[in-house]
Amino acid sequence: MIPFLDLRQINSPYIQELEEASLQVVRSGWYLLGESLTSFENAFSAYCEAEYCVGVANGLDAISLILKAFDFPPESEVILAANTYIATLLPVTALGLTPVLAEPDPATMLLNPELLENHITGKTRAIITTDLYGRSCEMAPILSIAEKHGIKVITDAAQAHGARYRGRRAGSMAHATAFSFYPTKNLGALGDAGAVVTSDRAVAERIRYLRNYGSLVRYQNEYQGVNSRLDEIQAAFLNIKLPYLDRDNARRKSIARRYLEEISLEEARLPPSDRIDDDVWHLFVIQYPYRDRLKQYLAEKGIQADIHYPTPIHRQNAYPNLSHLQLPVTEKLSREVLSLPLHPALTDDEVSRIIRVINLYKTAIGSQQSETSPGGRAANNLSHE
């Protein structure tokens, strides 16, 4: 059985260092806002080639705190890609801002800059770009559109630690960038953790207050903050794993390269390969009209694939007020995307086996009955471009 991901396997190269670091924190008697956090913040901002990093409790809070720091007026509109993970949307609505869902480019599966201006109104205050699956969004046109309209660009880089776009790192381009160190991410803690990276001093400082009850000096509260701190033990783990991030991303890339070169499955659309060196391959996502059947077939052959994401955010029960939206590109993606196993601990033999098994899958068009997805919509031959 080749699991989609096995965290024990992923962390096994670091196990001794992680154990030593946890002992050190346990014995230090200092568990929050200490030296491990400061050293991680310094190391991660340098890694991202940005000025500041502020550790927070998780990726969701990172997005939320960025939005809070910008202090947009109520009912401001925030544009985001409709095919993102729900964590990009939740802070927008939680703060009473109005989400505007934009269709992604079907080839890159990322926010389509050409559609952006259609969504900009007098109330638009920000665009959130999600660097989905480990690839930076098309930042040059997005930043120039934002500048023209005087709006902020926020990046959700929870899946893109180390990704580059035209030489620049994720974290160095947007006004503020949110990272998650959820255990399955390219840089993963052993619990929850997140960070905001920015080169805007005022934003960094505001978030330093906000994450700690609006306070930098004990019992002096300058803002109505929250409790969202990245604790010392997770920071210590991240300090250990950060130096290996580039090596891990390089391993991901070499697996992605093999998938791109060797997978041959009629009617499947592979992820874009034009920026193979810059993308960090958090997930390897193919689009395939008979996705559910292929996933089942792989499972029968002992290969666990996964779906990111099976239900678009506007179709979630959590958002009945968005259910009227018609977003055909996003809806089609939700029916057709399939993530193949891809992580640094995957062996060459496993990669070979995954490729071999996929290449043996024959699409018997005609004998295919229409397939139903969790969204309840049928995918048939005609629905494929």
Ligand X SMILES: *Cc1c(COP(=O)(O)O)cnc(C)c1O
User: Which residues of the shown chain bind ligand X in the complex (CB under 6 A)?
Assistant: 58-60, 84-85, 87-88, 130, 156, 158-159, 180, 182, 192, 194
CB distance 81 to 129 below 8 Å: yes
Give the span between the Cα atoms of 206 and 213, in whole angstroms: 11
155 Cβ contact list (under 8 Å, min separation 6): 128, 129, 130, 131, 137, 170, 171, 173, 174, 176, 177, 178
Query: Least distance to ligand X from the beta carbon of 301, Å?
Result: 27
Query: Least distance to ligand X from the beta carbon of 156, Å?
Result: 5
The CA R_g of the chain, rounded to the nearest whole Å, is 21
Helices (H) and strands (E) in the chain, counts: 13, 15
CB distance 5 to 342 below 8 Å: no
Q: Which is nearer to ligand X, 52 or 133 (CB)?
A: 133
Query: Least distance to ligand X from the beta carbon of 62, Å?
Result: 8
102 bridge partner residues: 81
Which residue has its beta carbon closest to ligand X? 59
Q: Which is nearer to ligand X, 179 or 213 (CB)?
A: 179
State the DSSP code for 382. G
Query: Least distance to ligand X from the beta carbon of 161, Å?
Result: 11
Q: Which is nearer to ligand X, 45 or 64 (CB)?
A: 64
Q: Which is nearer to ligand X, 134 or 344 (CB)?
A: 134
Query: Least distance to ligand X from the beta carbon of 201, Å?
Result: 25
CB distance 192 to 212 below 8 Å: no
Strand locations in the chain (E): 52-56, 77-81, 98-102, 124-130, 152-156, 164-165, 168-169, 176-180, 194-198, 215-217, 220-221, 284-287, 337-340, 371-372, 378-379
Query: Least distance to ligand X from the beta carbon of 163, Å?
Result: 12
Please report, to the nearest 10 degrees, the dihedral formed by the alpha carbons of residues 347, 349, 355, 359 taken in order.
-170
Q: How many C-beta atoms surround the C-beta of residue 10 within 10 A?
A: 18
Q: Which is nearer to ligand X, 60 or 79 (CB)?
A: 60
Give the span between the Cα atoms of 143 and 153, in whole angstroms: 7
Element (DSSP H or E) covering residue 354? helix 348-359
Query: Least distance to ligand X from the beta carbon of 114, Å?
Result: 22
Query: Least distance to ligand X from the beta carbon of 85, Å?
Result: 4
Q: Which is nearer to ligand X, 193 or 268 (CB)?
A: 193
Q: Which is nearer to ligand X, 66 or 355 (CB)?
A: 66
Q: Which is nearer to ligand X, 192 or 232 (CB)?
A: 192
Query: Least distance to ligand X from the beta carbon of 160, Å?
Result: 9
Residue holding tokens 């939320």?
Answer: 64
Q: Which is nearer to ligand X, 124 or 159 (CB)?
A: 159
User: Mind giving me the DSSP string for 237-299?
Assistant: HHHHHGGGHHHHHHHHHHHHHHHHHH---TT-BPPP-TTTTT---S-EEEE-TTHHHHHHHHH
